[in-house]
Chain A
Amino acid sequence: MSGTPFEQLANLDRLVHDPARLAILTALSACERADFLFLLRITGLTKGNLSSHLSKLEEAKLVEIEKRFVAKKTQTLIRLSTEGRETLESYWEEMETLRKSAAGWQPQKIALVPSTG
């Protein structure tokens, strides 16, 4: 990745960079799969927001959603897909690169030329 840290920041995967989706993906990366209730509790999102974020992640094929019946109730299980795991890993690599380049970045000095008009 090249350019200033600001350009690198602009190039980050927005789908993953969103705080709520990053929290969901982080939780899923630490386990085999988790159910909807757990994600609801750990992220503190509302049901509607969590559903919306999960739909976006499913559309991007980053997570796999499975529904099953347990004691006559629907249980939604969410798993991080292989693609999701790779995307999350590359996101953290980009963030690390960004952190390093931001630490060594110095703003260019702009020469002030007095106007001759």
Chain B
Amino acid sequence: METTALERIRFTAQHFNDLQGLRYGVPLGLITLGWVGATPLRVVSVLGALLLMVGAKWYYRRTFGEVETPPADDPGELSVFNLAGPVPRIEGFRQVSPVLRHLLTTVLTAVFLFSFFQSIPPNIEVQGSESLGQHPQVVRESSSSSFFGPSFISPLPHGGEMRPPSMLRAVFAQTMYVLYGSFFLGLWLWRGRRRSEHHLAFAALLLGLSALGTALGYIARADGEIARIFDLFLPALVYPGVALLLCGSAMFLAGLFDHWQLVAALGPTSRQVED
């Protein structure tokens, strides 16, 4: 037996539950995509996603079986705080699972860095309406905010001045990129940086957009002129609807890729052991 076959077996067994894309990635993508529309569409997308989650759980169990991951807390570990041994675990209770711990660490770190870097650039104002399909124009505010001390004291008021509502909407869009991008990055790290290249690609795309959006205060000018290359990306950087569409699509596709990966590893064509 080849080492690569054993490696694939080990990977699939270890990540069997989080590879169930129809159960997690696709429904989450649907909810995000539905959020762009009106309230009835949101309700439909949430209900559809819930139905899909339940159906997919049944499908995976019936088709591929079940795998239990190791418990979050190591029951055999002794601690200086508990020399008598581990506290018996309540049936069914699990502490934060390793995958959740990985994701939380990555997302919180990214959010912290994003908040810090968001507070430094000068304010911008976004002109143009997303709902009317207008191309946005970004104007740098000519304020003397930097004279009023450190701007990172509060993320909202910038040097004593409140940020314009249009900028807050842009920040919301960029926050979406940070949340989803760091989620993908966390998943890629959790899977040992292998067999999960689609997550890395989505993480690079979304975090890149968030970084570009954060730098808009430096890129934009007071007369509204902006380099053509940045102008192309502007709708994605400042309109929350476009951000939700991109994030939702990325999550949906990542879920599909995960599902295909699982089917490829456990499907009838994957027979790799000689009887």
Query: Per a CB cutoff under 8 Å, which of A30, A34, A45 touches B65?
Result: A34
Could you jot down 8 A-B contacts, CB within 8 Å? A19-B1, A20-B274, A30-B14, A31-B13, A32-B69, A35-B67, A39-B65, A43-B9
In angstroms, Cα B274 to Cα A22, docked, is 11
Q: Is the interface of A mostly helix, strand, loop or mixed?
A: helix
In angstroms, Cα B14 to Cα A42, docked, is 12
Q: Using A38-B16, A38-B64, A42-B9 as known contacts, say yes or no to A31 and B1 having CB atoms under 8 A apart.
A: no
Do A49 and B275 touch across chains, with their CB atoms under 8 A apart? Answer: yes
- Where the two chains meet, the residues of A that have a C-beta atom closer than 8 Å to any C-beta of B are 19-20, 22-23, 26-46, 49, 75, 77
Do A44 and B270 touch across chains, with their CB atoms under 8 A apart? Answer: yes
Do B10 and A27 touch across chains, with their CB atoms under 8 A apart? Answer: yes
Contacts of A19 in B (CB 8 A): 1, 273-274
Q: Using A22-B6, A38-B16, A46-B275 as known contacts, say yes or no to A31 and B68 having CB atoms under 8 A apart.
A: yes
Do B273 and A31 touch across chains, with their CB atoms under 8 A apart? Answer: no
Query: Per a CB cutoff under 8 Å, which of B1, B64, B65, B70 touches A23?
Result: B1
Do A36 and B69 touch across chains, with their CB atoms under 8 A apart? Answer: no
Do A34 and B68 touch across chains, with their CB atoms under 8 A apart? Answer: yes
Do B9 and A31 touch across chains, with their CB atoms under 8 A apart? Answer: no
Contacts of A37 in B (CB 8 A): 64-66
Contacts of A22 in B (CB 8 A): 1, 6
Residues from 248 to 275 in B contacting A, C-beta threshold 8 Å: 265-267, 270-275
Report B204 CB to chain A, min CB distance, Å. 28
Q: Which residue of A lies closest to B271 (CB)?
A: A44
Residues from 57 to 72 in B contacting A, C-beta threshold 8 Å: 63-71
Query: Per a CB cutoff under 8 Å, which of B14, B65, B267, B275 touches A35?
Result: B65
Contacts of A42 in B (CB 8 A): 9, 12-13, 265-266
In angstroms, Cα B13 to Cα A11, docked, is 29
In angstroms, Cα B263 to Cα A41, docked, is 10
Do B70 and A35 touch across chains, with their CB atoms under 8 A apart? Answer: no
Do A31 and B67 touch across chains, with their CB atoms under 8 A apart? Answer: yes
Do B10 and A26 touch across chains, with their CB atoms under 8 A apart? Answer: yes
Report B12 CB to chain A, min CB distance, Å. 6
Q: Using A26-B6, A32-B71, A46-B275 as known contacts, say yes or no to A41 and B13 having CB atoms under 8 A apart.
A: no
Q: Which residue of B lies closest to A75 (CB)?
A: B66
Contacts of A44 in B (CB 8 A): 270-273
Contacts of A35 in B (CB 8 A): 65-67
Report A68 CB to chain B, min CB distance, Å. 11
In angstroms, Cα B273 to Cα A42, docked, is 9
Contacts of B273 in A (CB 8 A): 19-20, 23, 43-45
Do A45 and B275 touch across chains, with their CB atoms under 8 A apart? Answer: yes
